Amino acid sequence: MKFAQKSYIIIGSGIAGLYTAIKLSEKSDSDILLITKSDLRESNSRYAQGGIVGVLPDNTDDSVALHVEDTLKAGAGLSDREVAAFISKRSAEAISDLIKYGVEFDKTPGQKLEFTLEGAHSKRRILHSGGDATGRNIERALSALVESNPKIKIYKKTQAVDLLVDARKTCKGVIVLDEQTGEYETIYSSAVIIATGGAGQVYSNTTNPIIATGDGIALAYRAGATVQNMEFIQFHPTALNFEENGSRFLISESVRGEGARLKNIDGEFFTDSLAPRDMVTRAIFFEMKEKGHDHVLLDTTSIPEAHLRERFPNILNACLEHGIDIINRPIPVSPAAHYIMGGIKTSVRGETDIKGLFAVGEAGCTSFHGANRLASNSLLECVAVANELAELLSEQEGSAAIDADCKINCLISRYEKNHYDYFPDVNSFKRELRETMWEKAGIVRDEQGLKKALITLNRLKLEFNQAYKCRNLEEYEFRNLLTIADLIIRSSLSRKESRGGHFREDYPETEEEGCNSYLSCDKIIENIC
């Protein structure tokens, strides 16, 4: 085991991690370590298509108040008004920062920023880049800045596998695995920032790439942090109906914003194509169930060809690769897990309830999105919260902490010896878990299904039987997926109502008063109104 000390450790190189690193380097002279388990740019962020919400003064038709109302309406009673106003007010600064960092947003022929529309937005307020390549262009610009910044050291292909939290609930660092050498390292720090993104891979149908295994949420929960609202999963209505590398290509909601309409396979309209995501997803789910089909159609043929080519070049090409020419033919689509509204409970500055541990981006839960996220609000939240967090940390000035207690030393010792006496078949376990979650804890749930999912989960936990040191990245990811599945199932069982991204067929009504749900490994579940 190697040992090191750093002032700040950021885990994850999506927009939240990269932006935190850049801001922190501007505000502080201390050393920053950025750890990422894949290549620097591989993340959910990279695949963002639709764009980022910009409530900008030039868009005179729009206002913070209108954006907040749309966010709260989509959030189905669980978005926090103050948090929404706080984040919305910071969007103008966030956009101007991104432009300063090299992101080129698309413009109108008159050289003004061009706004698009997505479901449940009352105004055109979404900025995009490269047509439908917003995430790729943001990742490219931010990662170039991080790579050339001498204050930021980067560990690529390095996975955070455990957090060092002492008996007084203070985080002192992290244990990481270098995937190329197989070596472990204990890195001490008084500020560990989780920016590890979402957990879409817990479902067999997802728009998320294979890195999205909920690692940070699982690590923080096991270390004693409170997680919030884990039952609220956003299933995107329109993923291309083909799987590639464990993930499904997204057909952005902005395609519907530009005029495409959903039809059933008989060519009939069956839903409002721009209603909130959860409603469109359920309409598709029930339509497919009733007709016994595995997809519906997204008709893009009414959008002029030149506009389709200019606005959605990547979608056009991805569909062509599957033999679908979207200029002349509708796209076969079906829902897929897309975003987790729940996560590590944090303040709007990224503080968790463990001292020294922070979370930002999709891994965190600030109560901005409530029970259902408004489209393009995630990238905005990542940037707005990262900015606040960097400010907070620079005020504290990071100093490395090395006073490990026996709880931490005991944890480290578990990674110092090998105890492999059995080699689990992780691929088949993972397949079973993901399919079970899709069938029993997916778009439409009920008590019987959720309890069956829990039985399967408990059997898989017993069969996997790797509590601490695993052999490789895939095993650690599976260990985390088991934790995430457990959190989703238990939270879903405890919420006996339907709201936003959580639909119970046995409790289809929404309770009048909305409650957040919390889970922590040293407390029992509470619903707090």
As a whole number of angstroms, the distance between CA 315 and CA 312 comes to: 5
As a whole number of angstroms, the distance between CA 63 and CA 65 comes to: 5
Query: Phi/psi at 188 (nearest 5 deg)?
Result: -85, 145
Instruction: Give the residue among 148, 146, 129 at the shortest CA–CA distance from 137.
Output: 129
**Binding flag, residue 106, ligand FAD (CB under 6 A):** no
The partner in contact with residue 253, picked from ligand SIN, ligand FAD, none with C-beta cut-offs of 5 to 8 angstroms by kind, is ligand SIN
**224 neighbors 513 (Cβ within 8 angstroms):** no
Please report how many Cα atoms fall inside a 13 Å half-sphere around the Cα of residue 72, on the Cβ side: 15
Q: List residues near ligand SIN by CB under 6 A.
A: 49-50, 252-254, 375-376, 378
Please report how many Cα atoms fall inside a 13 Å half-sphere around the Cα of residue 419, on the Cβ side: 10
Name the minimum Å distance from CB 380 to ligand SIN: 9
- CB-wise, 166 or 253, nearer to ligand SIN? 253
Q: Which residues within the stretch 375-414 sit at the binding site for ligand FAD (CB under 6 A)? A: 376-379, 382
The partner in contact with residue 160, picked from ligand SIN, ligand FAD, none with C-beta cut-offs of 5 to 8 angstroms by kind, is ligand FAD
Which member of 125, 277, 373, 504 is catalytic?
277
DSSP string across 297-312: EEE-TTS-HHHHHHH-
Q: Which residues within the stretch 20-59 sit at the binding site for ligand FAD (CB under 6 A)? A: 35-38, 42-45, 47-52
**Binding flag, residue 189, ligand FAD (CB under 6 A):** no
- CB-wise, 135 or 224, nearer to ligand SIN? 135
Q: Which residue is nearest to ligand FAD (CB)?
A: 14
- CB-wise, 75 or 216, nearer to ligand FAD? 216
Name the minimum Å distance from CB 3 to ligand SIN: 40
Query: Does the annotation count 277 as an active-site position?
Result: yes
Q: Which of 116, 129, 186, 207 binds ligand FAD (CB under 6 A)?
A: 207
**Binding flag, residue 116, ligand FAD (CB under 6 A):** no
Q: Which residues within the stretch 1-20 sit at the binding site for ligand FAD (CB under 6 A)? A: 11-17
- CB-wise, 220 or 308, nearer to ligand FAD? 220
- Sheet with 516-520, side-by-side order of all strands: 364-365, 343-345, 227-228, 516-520, 523-528
- CB-wise, 205 or 498, nearer to ligand FAD? 205
Instruction: Give the residue among 249, 275, 271, 251 at the shortest CA–CA distance from 262.
Output: 271
Pairing of strands 2-5, 184-188: parallel
CB atoms within 10 A of CB 397: 12
DSSP string across 167-212: TTSBEEEEEEEETTT--EEEEE-S-EEE-----GGGSSSBSS-TT-
Hey, what amino acid is at 380? L
Beta bridge partners of 170: 355
Instruction: Catalog residues that contact ligand FAD under the rule CB under 6 A.
Output: 11-17, 35-38, 42-45, 47-52, 134-135, 159-160, 195-198, 207-208, 211-212, 215-216, 250, 338-339, 361-363, 376-379, 382
Task: Show which residues are catalytic.
Answer: 277
